[in-house]
Chain A
Amino acid sequence: MTAVGAFDILLCLTLIWLAWQVLASRDPFRAVVLFISFGMLMALGWVRLQAPDLALAEAAIGSGLTGALFLSALRKVIGGKKDERRLDRDEEAQ
């Protein structure tokens, strides 16, 4: 097997694993961070599939802006309710 093939398989497995982690994560902040990293790897996947347009869109919109929107929504939903800073929750989760 070539190195490129091995990389592709590794990429696929990592994507599936990350997707599962996003869905299974109990901590919303953690899920959002994992979602962002999923988007970045997905963009890499689109590059491997020779779809640079999709890769750009995925990296910029799917990963970057959606991640920012998720984080902002998280702060509004949870931060408003619990009235504690996000950093505190991170420490608590670990």
Chain B
Amino acid sequence: MTKVGKERTPHNRGWQRLPIMALLLLFLAALARAYLFPGASAAGLAARVDASLAAGGVGSRVTAVLLNFRAYDTLLECFVLLLGVMVVWSLWRPDGAESREPAAGAILASLERLLVPLMIMVGSYLLWAGSDRAGGAFQAGAILGGAGVLLLLDSSPLLKVFPKRGLVPGLCLGPLFFLSASIAAMAWGGNFLEYRSPEAALIIIALEGAAAFSIGLCLAALFGGRPPEREAGDGRDRPSRDRGEFR
């Protein structure tokens, strides 16, 4: 890259970078100090998580933390993704629309017939495995989103399977379900976002399923970039991928 870079960059502004360099070095030194002398927090929270894992409803520490002990973070992440889709949609301008589908060949078409079912399967497996192993809603959602991106690349006819009107409800499903389950937890005597042990496992699985679906839809919609109302007629709608989860 330096070959390409050198001929175009003005190099006489190097001194302006010195303060930034100094700040970065300072930051690096602070990081190194925190790493080398961890202090009191070195033990981490693993012991406390392990102690309360039984009440969390799932066997995996990470899932228990993400969806029960610290579910607030995950809830906000879901809403952040939704917000991202809203921003992308509001920035959409129709003039760039035609540049979207260049040469989608037979290779891509057959590849997606091969890969999309596999991705739906792997995504569902990750969702299910998340309760006691590595995996979980975000990973599953990302893979579903990847399947959606693949379909969007050549605006596959498979996308028509997903009803256009289902898009916005589908995007909102995860965050809203999450929110309502958290509020319902208060009605059952817990705190906000606190799922008690007997129902916890079931609630968490349901939450993860809804969250993964919406996350996948959000990610694919981010890639599609086009709000649903504008695409009348030609049948190329964006998001779909996940319908396989329902069938």
Contact = CB atoms under 8 A, between A and B. Distances in A.
Interface of A: 21, 24-27, 30-31, 52-53, 55-57, 60-61, 64-65, 68-69, 72, 75-76, 79-80, 85, 93
Interface stretch (B15-23, B139-147, B166-174, B197-205): B139-147
Contacts of A53: 62, 134-136, 139
Greatest chain B CB density within 10 A among A52, A56, A69 is at: A56
B99 interface: yes
A26 B62 contact: no
A34 B139 CA distance: 22
Interface string B195-235: 00000000000000000000000010011010000000000
Contacts of A21: 1
28 contacts: A24-B1, A24-B2, A25-B1, A26-B4, A27-B1, A30-B1, A30-B4, A52-B133, A52-B134, A53-B62, A53-B134, A53-B135, A53-B136, A53-B139, A56-B126, A56-B134, A56-B139, A57-B142, A61-B219, A65-B142, A65-B145, A65-B146, A65-B219, A69-B222, A69-B223, A76-B99, A76-B225, A80-B96
Greatest chain A CB density within 10 A among B5, B102, B142, B225 is at: B142
Chain A at the B interface: SS class? helix
A26 B1 CA distance: 6
A27 B139 contact: no
A60 B4 contact: no
